[in-house]
């Protein structure tokens, strides 16, 4: 099994480590516009080789888009244009926008929309973590739109990483993610206000 990781940062690098270490991938190809990331990923053993995207697509069974959502929305249609039987998955935190980009694409069924629910404040290949995804959840969106073999391959990849699978439609996913994001901001704001109030009381 040859897996291409497009975007060798925290998520992509951690996936590369896990899929190779646990035997899902025989070969991991890295694709990244950042030459420093490419060199570091090779040095750290996250990937076996670095290739341009077009070459990587042709050599791959599974292509993982681990780039920011806005970049994924631009890349995905171009990747689907170039694949034959390869499976593509993304790991972005929102789904409705990217879904609209390829909703009528003839290879739409070979793209599986996913969102692994894990992350840290760090970035880059140096931030990659072994066993990062164990016992975490990943959301798979609109699975009824996937070719059975594409869905099965992505499910196998996530199970190899030790993740729990949650199925949801894209709209519900985005609403839930936005809600959780807002809650975290509100909590941070409330905590900051509490600290400020405490400081004022102590200064009084």
Give me the number of domains the chain comprises.
Answer: 1
Q: What is the pLDDT of residues 89-127, one digit of tens each?
A: 999 988 889 999 999 999 999 999 999 988 777 788 988
Task: Identify the domain containing residue 16 by its residue range.
Answer: 2-169
Question: Would you say residue 148 lies in a domain?
Answer: yes
| Residue 120: partners with Cβ closer than 8 Å, 6 or more residues away | 10, 127, 129
Question: Would you say residue 187 lies in a domain?
Answer: no
Answer whether 60's CB lies under 8 Å from 4's CB.
yes
Q: What is the pLDDT of residues 119-159, one digit of tens each?
A: 777 788 988 888 899 999 999 999 999 999 999 999 999 99
Question: Would you say residue 43 lies in a domain?
Answer: yes
| pLDDT band at 199; cut points 50, 70, 90 | low
State how far the Cα of 198 lies from the Cα of 200, in Å rounded to an integer.
5
Phi and psi angles of residue 116, each rounded to the nearest 5 degrees, phi first: -70, 130
pLDDT of residue 28: 98
pLDDT of residue 201: 63
Question: Would you say residue 189 lies in a domain?
Answer: no
| pLDDT band at 195; cut points 50, 70, 90 | low
pLDDT of residue 203: 64
Question: Would you say residue 138 lies in a domain?
Answer: yes
Give how far the C-alpha of residue 140 lies from the chain's centroid of Cα atoms, to the nearest Å.
Answer: 11
State how far the Cα of 8 lies from the Cα of 31, in Å rounded to an integer.
7
Q: In this predicted structure, which of 10-14, 35-39, 145-149, 173-177 has the lowest mean pLDDT?
A: 173-177
Q: What CATH number should be reported for the domain holding residue 147?
A: 3.40.50.720
Length of the chain: 204
């Amino acid at each position: 099994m040859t897996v291409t990781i497009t975007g060798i940062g925290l998520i992509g690098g951690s996936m590369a480590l896990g899929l190779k270490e646990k035997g899902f991938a025989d070969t991991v190809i890295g694709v990244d516009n950042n030459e420093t990331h490419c060199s570091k990923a090779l040095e750290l053993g996250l990937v076996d080789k670095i290739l341009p995207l077009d070459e990587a697509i042709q050599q791959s069974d599974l292509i993982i888009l681990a780039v920011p959502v806005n970049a994924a929305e631009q890349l995905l249609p171009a990747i689907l244009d170039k694949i034959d039987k390869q499976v593509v998955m993304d790991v972005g935190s929102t789904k409705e926008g990217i879904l609209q980009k390829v909703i009528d694409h003839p290879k739409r069924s070979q793209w599986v929309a996913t969102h692994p629910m894990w992350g840290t404040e760090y970035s880059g290949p140096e931030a990659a973590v072994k066993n990062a995804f164990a016992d975490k959840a990943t959301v798979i969106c609109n699975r009824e739109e996937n070719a059975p073999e594409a869905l099965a391959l992505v499910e196998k990849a996530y199970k190899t990483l030790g993740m729990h699978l949650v199925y949801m439609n894209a709209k519900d996913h985005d609403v839930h993610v936005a809600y959780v994001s807002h809650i975290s901001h509100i909590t941070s704001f409330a905590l900051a206000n509490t600290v400020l109030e405490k400081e004022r009381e102590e200064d009084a």
